Amino acid sequence: MKWRDRKQSSNVDDRRSSSGRSGGGGRGLPSIGTLMFLWPLVKPLLKSKLGLGVVGIGAAVYFLAPSFMGSGGSKPANESADNEQAAFIKTVKADTEVVWGKIFQQAGQRYPTPELVLYRDATSSGCGPADSRMGPFYCPGDQKVYVDLSFFSDLKHKHGAGGDFAQAYVVAHEIGHHIQNIEGTLDKVQRAKQSVRGTEGNALQVKVELQADCYAGIWAHYQQKLFGALEPGDLEEALTAAASIGDDRLQKQAQGFAIPHTFTHGSSKQRMEWFARGVKNGRIQDCQTFR
């Protein structure tokens, strides 16, 4: 994908230097067990000014050392490459803003742009704690897309889906969920799930995910039309990514066989087909998975 020297989105909350396993940049309060263990050592120090000073210094070191030492998240092996990847994702985000902005404008509406949150290891979201093991996700509670860049390394090395446009497809899919949120689809599905059994709920969720794949295809269609950014092999990279994270593929990798009624995202074939459907004509009406 041609992306260098192009506009990057400014609607990004880059938390990579402040996120971490604790979900924040500093240490929390010590546990009660820790306080009980230290109390016999601390109590005698409280009886003198010198002792109070020692306790004060110790407390400062405990709470402030993480900030001075930059412990707000694990550093990537190659920080330069990490920053370049972040720049690419911000460029993709900017493209989604332009594409969906124009689509909404043509319908006489304003596109409410979601915020992109880049983090490392863990952070907090409007939908609860966010962890890198969850993969990229959209939170309707705060209308933000959360991405830990390490996911794309897993996508390439564990699932065989490398290439920059594979990454672009993933981001565009999550933006697709934002479109569904605006349309009211996510709320309708959530309400419907409350009155059906587990397998029926799974089937509804599959429709949600396949529609988001189709919306990602619509973005790719107009991204090429508006920016001419696609290069040979880009669409194949996206299709490979869609296939690599199909439920049947993932289940077979994990346990050697697939259980269709437990699918929540759709099979590899379905994900590829719905993405391709969006790419073909770029029409919202072609993405009606709920029919």
Q: At 236, which amino acid appears?
A: E
CA–CA dist 131, 148 (Å, integer)? 8
> Where would I find the H helices in 228-255?
234-244, 247-255
Taking CA atoms, 116 is separated from 15, 20, 92, 95, in Å, by 10, 17, 11, 13
Q: Where exactly are the structural domains of the chain? A: 32-69, 74-287
Return the pLDDT at 33.
Answer: 38
**Model confidence, pTM:** 0.81
Between CA 173 and CA 138 the distance in angstroms is 9
Per-10-residue mean pLDDT, the chain, length 291:
96 89 44 42 58 57 42 66 96 98 96 97 95 94 96 93 96 98 97 91 97 98 96 97 96 95 96 98 96 86
Among the listed residues 31, 8, 193, the one whose alpha carbon sits nearest the alpha carbon of residue 83: 8
What local confidence, expressed as pLDDT, does residue 78 receive? Answer: 83
